[in-house]
Structure 1
Amino acid sequence: MTLLLIHTGGTIGMSDSPQGLTPEAGLVEATVAALLPAGVRLQTEVFAPLIDSADMGPTGWNRILAAIHAAPGADVIVTHGTDTMAFTGAALAQALAGSGRRVVLCGAMQPLGTGGDAEGNLHLAMGAARSAPAGVWLAFAGELLPAEGLAKIDSHADSAFRALPQAPLPARPPKAAPFGAARVAVLTLSPGLPAALLRAALAELDGAVLRVYGAGTSMNDPAVLAALADAVARGVRLRAVSQCLSGGLAPGAYAAGAGLWAAGIENGGLETTEAALVRLMLDLSA
């Protein structure tokens, strides 16, 4: 049996320096090696240099996926910083949907060796990598969470993540590098949003996640709605999600959303912002 450890960086593998926490080469690999059960071979893929998760994105996701596809029989742990863990969880879950692979994400709010949460999260991840059902999971704060709908809800507490229910994921053909160069971003409706700013942003994009109000409403500003409709008419993919953490969208529930849906915006339903962004990236890269 083989355990593939993909170490990207993050707090879990850092140590103190005069400048503050900094990545320590070999720390995570040595800890995992010491915990390996008998008969399990460790294979590693380590980012060099290790990155802060703030720098994780499509290029990094492609690298993680390529390593997973190159080790077809291995169980997989991905160690990763927490700030973009929800994006990476959505990316791996959607890209691997239908593959039958088992992948466990793991990170920490405090580094290994400091008496914090890192050791417990890593122990949980190693057990889950052998026994969890197929899918992509996050091992964190004593819980194994489905990774397709993660939300980071606290910037300091050990229990930093919540898993939000998502619609079943469609299977995608396996590709070692499914994320291309599509220009995609998250745009948020806010009171007083200048229509010119929205129009200028949309002119630079192939697609956008539009964070709308509540169950699917927006301001009744003709200039804002025209900017959205014109972008859709040009072929820009716009997918709406709720700014609320839970509940999702219900088009038609409020008259205040009529202009939004008439503009041709896609309904993201229960999707998190992260999941909707990943969906657009994959669709536009296909």
Structure 2
Amino acid sequence: MADILVIHTGGTIGMVAGPNGLQPGKGLVEAALRDLGVAPRMEVFDPLVDSADIGPRDWNRMLDLIEGFRGDGVIVVHGTDTMALTGAALSQALGDLAFPVVLCGSMKPLGQGGDSEGNLALALQAAQGKPGVWLAFAGKVLPGAGLVKSDSQAADSFRSVPQDGFAPKARRFDPYRRLAVLTLTPGLPVGFVRAALQELDGAVLRVFGAGTMMHDPALHAVLAAAVRRGCHLRAVSQCESGGLVPAAYAAGAAIWQAGIENGGRETPEVALMRLWLSQKPE
């Protein structure tokens, strides 16, 4: 029998009905694994964490467990709301792996005739397969690095966008580092951007199309000043695929003149993790 470690962080798959809606329920995932005829090693977060609350300390805990494991594969049971962030975090921080790390969650809890049992069974298969970080979901095994949650309700709710390789400067996430994703929109107040960047060590800037932004000299000045003082800015496209092409449009010149890094075809989640794992602008 394969030596599998299951890290149960929480999520819909192991929830039960509560007075205010679904809430974590103890023992459900363990019972489902027994029903599937397996008895893997278990590491269960106590208390279980709704994925809306997952953050850098949780990613570090997962990384410690994964890197300390000597077996055939790891399954990370996780909620779907921040699955793309955790997929990006583990993919960027772990680098080369000798075994598979498989994210698993569901849109409906166990025992409700939904997708959870099938996703868990698929994760067990994938955990004995190809090394790397993966998501087992809706009958598919997707690369974990570029996950996009494309539907908030459907069982088939994830896609994966190809991502480029990355050599992180750090292998753990600093929970005190102040990072965010900022989206450019028409009419965005310059004062808001200035105030936000003054509170941040770095930010992912979601720009238009292949790499353009509004012609606003005051906004350009704010971005350039942030870069000069050491705020680490990385640009990505608001489009799901295609990425950025510097110098394709004059409307994007201010981005590169300010010294903002080109995130290429990175998802915002991947770009955020690369900021987190870079000690300073590259």
TM range (shorter): over 0.9
CA 235–172 in structure 1, closer or farther in 2 if over 3 Å, else same: closer
* Cα separation, 1, equivalents of 2:69 and 2:280: 24
Q: Which amino acid aligns with 1:228?
A: L
Match of 2:229 in 1: 234
Compute the displacement of 1:36 (Å): 4.2
Corresponding residue SS for 1:187:
strand
Q: Contact (CA 8 Å) 1:205, 1:236: kept in 2 or not?
A: yes
Match of 1:77 in 2: 75
Matched, 1:206 2:204: no
Q: Contact (CA 8 Å) 2:178, 2:201: kept in 1 or not?
A: yes
Q: Contact (CA 8 Å) 2:168, 2:274: kept in 1 or not?
A: no
Match of 1:57 in 2: 55
Alignment identity in percent?
61
Name stretches of at least 5 consecutive residues in structure 2 with no aligned partner: none
Compute the displacement of 1:126 (Å): 0.3
Compute the displacement of 1:273 (Å): 0.4
CA 172–2 in structure 1, closer or farther in 2 if over 3 Å, else same: farther
Match of 1:26 in 2: 27
TM-score of the two chains, using structure 1 as the length reference: 0.94
Deviations 1:160-206 (A, max 9, x none): 10101111x2345884xx11121110011111111111011111111
Match of 2:137 among 132, 136, 140: 140
* Cα separation, 2, equivalents of 1:280 and 1:144: 27
Match of 2:166 in 1: 170
Match of 2:153 among 127, 151, 156: 156
CA 174–264 in structure 1, closer or farther in 2 if over 3 Å, else same: closer
* Cα separation, 1, equivalents of 2:99 and 2:225: 41
* Cα separation, 1, equivalents of 2:45 and 2:71: 21
TM-score of the two chains, using structure 2 as the length reference: 0.95
Corresponding residue SS for 2:18:
coil
Match of 2:110 in 1: 112
Corresponding residue SS for 1:235:
coil
* Cα separation, 2, equivalents of 1:19 and 1:196: 38
Name stretches of at least 5 consecutive residues in structure 1 with no aligned partner: none
Compute the displacement of 1:43 (Å): 1.1
Q: Contact (CA 8 Å) 2:227, 2:233: kept in 1 or not?
A: yes
CA 285–250 in structure 1, closer or farther in 2 if over 3 Å, else same: closer
Q: Which amino acid aligns with 2:275?
A: L
Q: Contact (CA 8 Å) 2:173, 2:277: kept in 1 or not?
A: yes
* Cα separation, 1, equivalents of 2:9 and 2:229: 38
Q: Which amino acid aligns with 2:12?
A: T
Q: Which amino acid aligns with 1:32?
A: L
* Cα separation, 1, equivalents of 2:68 and 2:23: 30
Matched, 1:247 2:220: no
Q: Which amino acid aligns with 1:16?
A: A
Corresponding residue SS for 2:279:
helix
Match of 1:102 in 2: 100
Greater shift in the superposed pair: 220-229 or 23-32: 23-32
Aligned length: 279
Match of 2:178 in 1: 183
Match of 1:48 among 41, 46, 49: 46
Matched, 1:256 2:251: yes
Q: Which amino acid aligns with 2:166?
A: P
Deviation >3 Å, runs of 4+? 171-175
Q: Which amino acid aligns with 2:213?
A: S
Compute the displacement of 1:17 (Å): 3.1
Compute the displacement of 1:139 (Å): 0.3
Match of 1:279 in 2: 274
